[in-house]
């Protein structure tokens, strides 16, 4: 903005000569002054428009934010259920409806490329996702801690095996869960879910990730009728928004039911970094997708 004020000040300087030439020069200078002021206003408006698309928080701080949605009702939580020995890192937090007439079905919530030791599974962002999903869908949600930076999907398999083994204890239906994942999870967890015969997901949802490994995984997967939600971030500065269209086309060709949502101004982790109306619509559509598909018959 300093540049704009300097410009306006320069245009507004008074003429230094007198007489008719002064009046002519004054009119010329006044014309330049008006044009400069008009340009300043246009630039200010453009900057204001850009500001609405700028992240409100840094990527580093994104995990400490909550979704820009109305606070959900109460849910029950069974925290830190270790799936590998007694490790508090290799564990999942299970979120359950406050009341349910039947055993709720299961949704796996898998964070991106952070190590299990980071505790990301229990960060405000993941807790917000879990509670919003439970409240909207009536399903149980397991937020899994795993070494996303290593793409160690065997840990996802171990966590799911533990959930199935303890399903009666938790009072849940762990067969054929839905899976929602983010960032590095798209490149690792989605291909794993497509191929794993034990998991056999009821639906898949992936946010702002690299879809190329999933495209390759389609060759050996039976995805006929599988609902898949692809969520894109148009201004992603971490994973460029380029690979999703090819995956969507290939998955449809293979028989999957693919839906694509795109936040045109979305940065990485846009659900909390770009909390505008477009983001809210995408979040609502994602929750509706999960609600519909978790309730669908196999």
Mean pLDDT on 241-264: 98
Convert 244-268 to b/e letters by CB count within 10 Å (16 or more is b).
beebbebbeebebebeebbbebbbb
Arithmetic mean of pLDDT over the chain: 87
pLDDT at position 100, please?
83
Tally of domains within the chain: 2
Closest Cα partner for 81 from 71, 69, 89, 72? 89
Q: Are 103 and 177 in contact (CB under 8 A)?
A: no
Q: Is the pLDDT of residue 42 over 60?
A: no
Q: How much is the average pLDDT of 68-95?
A: 96
High-pLDDT (> 90) share of the chain, %: 79
Q: Do 274 and 207 lie in a common domain?
A: yes
Amino acid 54: pLDDT:
56
Residues 49 and 66 in one domain: no
Residues 12 and 86 in one domain: no
Tell me the residue range of the domain where 141 lies: 62-295
Q: Do residues 85 and 214 both lie within one domain?
A: yes
Q: Is 94 exposed, middle or buried (0-12, 13-18, 19+ CB in 10 A)?
A: buried
- 221: pLDDT confidence band, cut at 50, 70 and 90? very high
d(CA 132, CA 225): 26
What is the CATH number for 264? 3.40.50.1820
Q: Do 256 and 141 share a structural domain?
A: yes
CA dist list (Å): 106 to 97, 99, 173, 189, 290: 11, 15, 6, 16, 11
Per-residue pLDDT at 57: 93
Whether the pTM exceeds 0.85: the reply is: no
113 and 212 in a common domain: yes
152 and 251 in one domain?
yes
- In this structure, the answer to whether residues 185 and 255 fall within a common structural domain is yes
Q: How confident is the model at residue 188 (pLDDT cuts 50, 70, 90)?
A: very high
- Radius of gyration of the chain measured on its C-alpha atoms: 26
Query: pLDDT-derived band of residue 55, with 50, 70 and 90 as boundaries?
Result: low
Structure token pair of residue 136 = 């909207």
* Separation CA 41–CA 47 (nearest Å): 10
pLDDT, tens digit, 9 for 90 and up, residues 281-295? 999 999 999 999 999
Looking at residue 217, what DSSP letter applies? H
Q: Is 244 left (phi over 0), alpha (psi -120 to 50) or beta?
A: alpha
Torsion region of 73: left, alpha or beta (phi above 0 gives left; psi -120 to 50 gives alpha): beta
Q: Which residues contact 55 (CB under 8 A, 6 or more apart)?
A: 267, 273, 274
Average pLDDT for residues 166-187, to the nearest whole number?
98
67, 24: one domain? no
pLDDT value at residue 105: 98
* pLDDT reported for residue 16: 39
Asked whether residue 225 falls in the same domain as residue 273, the answer is yes
CB atoms within 10 A of CB 36: 17
My answer on whether 36 and 93 are in the same domain is: no
* Residue 20 pLDDT > 50: no
For the cut 60, the answer to whether the pLDDT of residue 15 exceeds it is: no
What is the spatial distance between Cα 123 and Cα 109, in angstroms, rounded to a whole number?
A: 13
Segment 67-87 mean pLDDT: 96
Judge if 110 and 34 occupy the same domain. Answer: no
pLDDT at 240 (0 to 100):
94
Does residue 46 surpass a pLDDT of 90?
no
Overall average pLDDT of the 56-72 stretch: 95
Counting Cβ atoms within 10 Å, is residue 86 exposed (0-12), middle (13-18) or buried (19+)? exposed
């Amino acid at each position: 903005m300093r540049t704009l004020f300097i410009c306006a000040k320069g245009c507004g300087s008074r003429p230094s000569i007198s007489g008719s030439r002064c009046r002519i020069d004054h009119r010329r200078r006044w014309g330049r002054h008006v044009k400069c002021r008009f340009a300043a206003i246009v630039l200010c408006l453009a900057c204001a428009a850009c500001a609405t698309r700028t992240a409100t928080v840094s990527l580093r701080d994104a995990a400490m934010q909550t979704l820009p949605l109305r606070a959900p009702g109460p849910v029950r939580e069974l925290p830190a259920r270790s799936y590998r020995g007694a490790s508090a890192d290799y564990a999942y937090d299970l979120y359950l409806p406050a009341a349910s007439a039947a055993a709720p079905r299961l949704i796996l919530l898998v964070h991106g490329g952070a190590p299990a030791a980071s505790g990301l599974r229990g960060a405000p962002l993941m807790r917000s996702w879990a509670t919003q999903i439970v409240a909207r869908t009536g399903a149980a949600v397991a937020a899994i801690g795993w070494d996303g930076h290593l793409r160690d999907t065997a840990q996802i398999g171990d966590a799911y095996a533990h959930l199935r083994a303890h399903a009666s204890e938790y009072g849940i239906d762990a067969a054929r869960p839905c899976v929602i994942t983010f960032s590095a999870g798209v490149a690792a967890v989605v291909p794993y879910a497509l191929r794993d015969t034990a998991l056999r997901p009821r639906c898949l949802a992936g946010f702002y990730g690299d879809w190329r490994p999933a495209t390759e995984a389609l060759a050996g997967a039976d995805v006929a009728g599988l609902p898949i939600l692809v969520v894109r971030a148009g201004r992603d500065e971490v994973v460029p928004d380029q690979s999703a269209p090819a995956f969507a086309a290939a998955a449809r060709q293979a028989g999957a039911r693919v839906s694509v949502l795109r936040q045109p101004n979305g940065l990485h982790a846009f659900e909390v970094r770009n909390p505008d109306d477009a983001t809210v619509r995408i979040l609502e559509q994602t929750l509706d997708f999960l609600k519909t598909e978790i309730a669908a018959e196999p």
